[in-house]
Amino acid sequence: MNTNALLSSLDTHFKLNPADARLLIVGLGATGYSAAQFLQKTPIKFAVIDSRSHPPLIDSLREQMPDVAVFCGGFDQSAFDVATHLLVSPGVSLNEKAIHKAMQAGVTVMSDIDLFACATDKPIIAITGSNGKSTVTTMLGDMGQAAGVKTAIGGNLGTPALDLLQQEADLYVLELSSFQLERTTALNAKAATVLNVTPDHLDRHDGMEGYAQEKQRIFRGDGAMILNADDPLVMVMQAEHRTTYSFSTEQNADFYLHRGEQDQLMFGQQALMNASELRLEGTHNIANALAALALGHAVGLDLTAMCKALAKFKGLAHRMQKVAEVKGVSWVNDSKATNIGACVAALQGYQHKVILIAGGDSKGADMQELVPAVQAKTKAVIVMGKDAELISAAIDGCVPVYFADNMKQAVAIAAEHAIAGDSVLLSPACASLDQYKSYADRGNKFAEAVLGLPTC
**pLDDT tens, position by position, 206-246:** 567 777 888 999 999 999 999 999 999 999 999 999 999 99
**Helix and strand counts by DSSP (H, E) for the chain:** 18, 20
Query: What letter represents residue 83's amino acid?
Result: A
Of all helices (H) and strands (E), which one includes residue 73?
A: none
Higher pLDDT, 199 or 76: 76
State the pLDDT at residue 206. Answer: 58
Q: Is the pLDDT of residue 443 over 60?
A: yes
CB 301 within 8 A of CB 309: no
Is the predicted pLDDT of residue 441 greater than 70, yes or no?
yes
Task: For the chain, give the mean pLDDT.
Answer: 94
Name the 3-class secondary structure at 12: helix
pLDDT for residue 365: 87
SS3 262: coil
CATH number of 321-451: 3.90.190.20
Q: What is the CATH number of domain 115-312?
A: 3.40.1190.10
pLDDT value, residue 245: 98
Q: 194 near 227, Cβ under 8 Å?
A: yes
Q: Which of 179, 58, 60 is nearest to 111 (CA)?
A: 179
Question: Higher confidence at residue 370 or residue 211?
Answer: 370
Q: What confidence score (pLDDT) does residue 238 get?
A: 95
Tell me the chain's radius of gyration from C-alpha atoms. 23
Per-residue pLDDT for 282 more than 90? no
User: Active-site residues: which are they?
Assistant: 133, 156, 201
Confidence class of residue 450 from pLDDT cuts 50, 70 and 90? very high
Whether residue 143 has pLDDT greater than 70: yes
Percent of the chain clearing pLDDT 70 (strictly above): 98
Q: Strand pairing partners for 378?
A: 354
State how far the Cα of 410 lies from the Cα of 270, in Å rounded to an integer. Answer: 45
pTM for this structure? 0.84
Q: Give the pLDDT band of residue 91 (cuts 50, 70, 90).
A: confident
User: CATH topology of 115-312 equal to that of 321-451?
Assistant: no
Q: Which CATH number fits domain 3-110: 3.40.50.720, 3.40.190.10, 1.20.1260.10, 3.90.1150.10?
A: 3.40.50.720
Give the pLDDT score at 385.
96
User: Where does 182-302 have alpha helices with state H?
Assistant: 207-216, 232-235, 283-298
Backbone angles phi, psi at 250, to 5 degrees: -115, -15
Q: Is the pLDDT of residue 178 over 50?
A: yes
Instruction: Examine the pLDDT at 205 and tell me if it is beyond 60.
Output: no
CA 108 to centroid of chain Cα atoms: 26
Helix (H, G, I), strand (E, B) or coil at 160: coil
Q: Which helix (H) or strand (E) holds 152?
A: strand 151-155
DSSP string, 391-409: HHHHHTTSS-EEE-SSHHH
Helix axes 303-312, 133-146, angle to 10 degrees: 120
pLDDT value of residue 199: 58
Q: Is the pLDDT of residue 146 over 90?
A: yes
* pLDDT, tens digit, 9 for 90 and up, residues 96-133: 999 999 999 999 999 999 999 999 999 999 999 988 89
SS3 342: helix
Q: Is the pLDDT of residue 201 over 50?
A: no
Which residues neighbour 223 within 8 Å (Cβ) at sequence distance 6 or greater?
188, 189, 190, 191, 192, 242, 243, 298
Q: What's the pLDDT at 217?
A: 94
Where exactly are the structural domains of the chain? Answer: 3-110, 115-312, 321-451
pLDDT by residue (tens digit) across 253-273?
999 999 999 999 999 999 999
**What are 287-345's pLDDT values in tens digits?**
999 999 999 999 999 999 999 999 999 888 898 888 999 999 999 999 999 999 889 98
Query: Is residue 456 very low, low, confident or very high in pLDDT (cuts 50, 70, 90)?
Result: confident
Distances (CA, A) of 331 to 242, 301, 449: 43, 35, 11
Which residues on neighbouring strands pair with residue 70, listed in sequence order? 48
